[in-house]
Every structure is written in C-alpha cells, then in structure tokens.
Amino acid sequence: MKHLNVAMIGSGFMGKAHALAYANMPVHFYPAPAIPVRKVVVDVSPELAKAAAERLGFEESSTDWREVVNRPDIDIVDICTPNDSHAEIAAEAAWAGKHIICEKPLARNASEAKTMLEAVTAAGVTHAVGFNYRYTPAIRMAKKLLDAGRIGKVLSFRGHYMQDWSADPNTPSSWRFSKATAGSGALGDIGTHVVDTARYLLGDIEAVSSVLATHVTERPASSSAFDQLASGDRSGSGAKVPVDVDDAVYSLLRFSSGAIGTLEATRNARGRHNYLGFEIQGADGTIVFDYERLGELQVMFANDRDDVQGFRTVQAGPFQPYGDKFWPIAGMGTGYLDVKTIECYEFIKAVTEGRQAAPSFEDGYKVELVADAIQTSASTGQWADV
Ligand code: SOE
C-alpha cells in the first residue's frame, strides 16, 4: 500500500484532531487510498515539539517549519497554526511541491487567501481547507436530500454557530482575540463554518447585510502556551489585554440561487457549546441539523399524509454517507473525530488521485470573500456584494 509522509506544523487542539484522524483513517477506510505516516511535527520550542511527537505519534520533532516543508521525504504539509502564519507556510510548501491541508479559516482576509490559492494553483499540488463540518454524515445526508429535490426548491437558510467558551469575560485572551493574528473574531473562527456549510448546501452567496459587535473588550492574558478554549483558567489573574475583534456576527444572506437566509455566530452564547446548525426551508419540506446532536437529521416532507405531517428524526448509520465505514448499526454514535477522519480520508484520496479536494483553497478563498463582505457591510451599514 502507498505511504504518504506528513509534516504537521502546530500541535494544539487541531494538531491533536489531525493526528488522531491520520491514525484512525486506515482503520475505518480499508483499504485506504494511502497510509498517512506521521513523520514530523513542528512547534515553537524543542520541548513542545518533542512532547507533541511523543503524544501524537510522530517519528520526529522540529522547531524549523521551513526546513521541514522543504525536506524531500515529505509529501504532505498539514497547517494547524494560528491564522497569521497560514499564508507564509502554505506558499513555502507549495513552492516545495507539497500537497497541503490547512486549518480554517484559510487566511485572515480574502487578499491573503488569494495569494495562497495562486501559490497552490501555480504549483499544481492538491489543497484542502479544514472546514470539517461539511463531512458530518448527517450534513452529507441533507445534501443528498437537497440534490434529489426531496424538499423542492430551496427558499431559505437559517444558519448559526453558537459557542460559550468565551462568554465569561475572564476566559483568557489568546491569538483568537487579536486582529493581527486571527483577522477577525467569531466571524472568522466559527462564522466561516456556517458560510462553508451554506455554500456546500445552497451554492454561492452574492450579497450580505451584517452587524458585528464586541461585548467583551479586554481579557486576562493567558499563562499557557496553548489556546485552551473552554478548559482555560478563568480566575481572572492575568493582566488585562485588549480585544480588537468581534465576538458576535449577525447577517442576512442573499444566495445566487435566489434563496435568502441568515447567519448568526458568537462564542459568547451561554449554554450553547458547539451549536452549529441550520434549518433549510424548501417549497416541499424542511431539513434541520444541530451539531450538538450530530448523529441526527430532522426532516419534514410536505407530501406526507396530512394526519401524520411533522418532523421525523433520522439517525445516521450504515445507510447514510460514510456510515458503513464506521459502525454497522444506526444510532451507535458519530463524533467529532469521525468527522475529522472523513476529512482526512477525502484529502488523502484526492492526493492519491491527483485532483483537488473539496473544500479546496478556492472554497477557502470564496468563504473569505463572504467574510470580507460581512465586515464591509457592518462598517458601512449597507448591503455589500460578495
Ligand atoms: C473555537 O471556536 C473552535 O476551536 C474553532 O476554531 C473550530 O473551528 C471549531 O470547530 C471548534 O471551536
């Protein structure tokens, strides 16, 4: 079986998810298109990098990403670093002829994303951006129902991503609260997942009318090398540092198809942990998804008999996309790692077949165009074209 050597840059939360996905993928998808080999992991200090190699199962560790991405034995570069380093690492990796998977959002803004897309296109390598949620079996199932016309013409989309890990003003600061490193706040971090899901299910968005807000304007500095999200120290002990990104975004959406919709995203919604979801209304039915119950899809078909009309709950299982690769009985449970494992499979398959993955850097760039338009609309108070 073919083997592909992976160099992973960054070993935080996403590095852990990707490392587990490389290990699990050939177990679920056998025979695998190729076996990903966890060759070398890079982090900012020798201690962090060495610990990451031990913990995540990489053969080697390094602190020099540039040297690593230029190594002749590396086939794939996996970018799991904060947003401000994506463009530089991706350009170097593309010039070195490596296939690239880059965590989302692709970049801090559309112009940076465009340079990345140009670099990978010129190099002719396979590229993917980590909008993992579109691989959720229940979301794939929603796409199948839409493509088969089961809810008729799509009229509207209500998309949301609500979390609460930063609702407490004492949640420590991190690169996610700085425009220089992140580009934007809730918009880039989680709103872009909604944009990717919307584009995947309904097609391109052509105009937006948006508002952004920053409710928590300063946070205690973090004492940890890693961004700890909900598991951080909330004692409020660090010196306060300013927040210069949004922590909530609300937007109206107009799709090229004629459908209309909404997007809501915040990391400060008490009680909502990973509440990514949507409701799609069609002329002949409705589809509802909520990631906090990711193994389920709610569907309503208008052609059901009047006396039994209503939502039914479909459990993801062997009859839904990718379901047969996991457990042989519906309802046994799909998790975050399963979604990351499917993402890994699709990327490795695209590499071995010498074609583009989906979502690619082009999708990542188009999402950034929407995110830029949302910021323009929020600052002008007008609709903005994408
Ligand atoms: C933090 O909001 C975060 O880690 C996002 O960056 C991820 O994309 C999301 O999947 C989980 O939450």
| Model pLDDT, residue 348 | 98
Residue for token pair 């010498």: 354
| Model pLDDT, residue 226 | 77
Average confidence (pLDDT) over 164-191: 96
User: How far does residue 275's CA lie from ligand 1's centre (Å)?
Assistant: 11
User: How far does residue 189's CA lie from ligand 1's centre (Å)?
Assistant: 6
Q: How far apart are CA 195 and CA 200, in angstroms?
A: 8
For atom 9 of ligand 1, which residue has the closest CA? Answer: 190
Looking from the CA of residue 14, the nearest atom of ligand 1 is 4
Model pTM above 0.85: yes
Task: Report percent pLDDT > 90 for the chain.
Answer: 94
Cα dist from 207 to 61, 221, 261, 282, whole Å: 45, 37, 11, 20
User: How far does residue 16's CA lie from ligand 1's centre (Å)?
Assistant: 13
Looking from the CA of residue 132, the nearest atom of ligand 1 is 10
- Which residues surround ligand 1 with Cβ inside 6 Å? 13, 104, 163, 189-190, 229, 267
For residue 228, what pLDDT band results from cuts at 50, 70 and 90? confident
Looking from the CA of residue 103, the nearest atom of ligand 1 is 8
* pLDDT above 90: residue 308: yes
Q: Residue 38 in contact with residue 22, Cβ under 8 Å?
A: yes
Task: Look at the alpha carbons of 362, 273, 144, 333 in this order and tell me if their dihedral is positive or negative.
Answer: positive
Cα dist from 285 to 144, 147, 255, 339, whole Å: 14, 13, 19, 26
User: How far does residue 227's CA lie from ligand 1's centre (Å)?
Assistant: 11
Per-residue pLDDT of 348-386, as tens digits, reads 999 999 999 999 999 999 999 999 999 999 999 999 999
Q: How far apart are CA 123 and CA 129, in angstroms?
A: 17
Average confidence (pLDDT) over 167-176: 95
**Which domains, ranges and CATH numbers included, belong to the chain?**
3-133 (3.40.50.720), 134-356+366-385 (3.30.360.10)
User: How far does residue 190's CA lie from ligand 1's centre (Å)?
Assistant: 6
Looking from the CA of residue 133, the nearest atom of ligand 1 is 10
Tokens of 114: 């465009």
For residue 168, what pLDDT band results from cuts at 50, 70 and 90? very high
Per-residue pLDDT of 81-140, as tens digits, reads 999 999 999 999 999 999 999 999 999 999 999 999 999 999 999 999 999 999 999 999
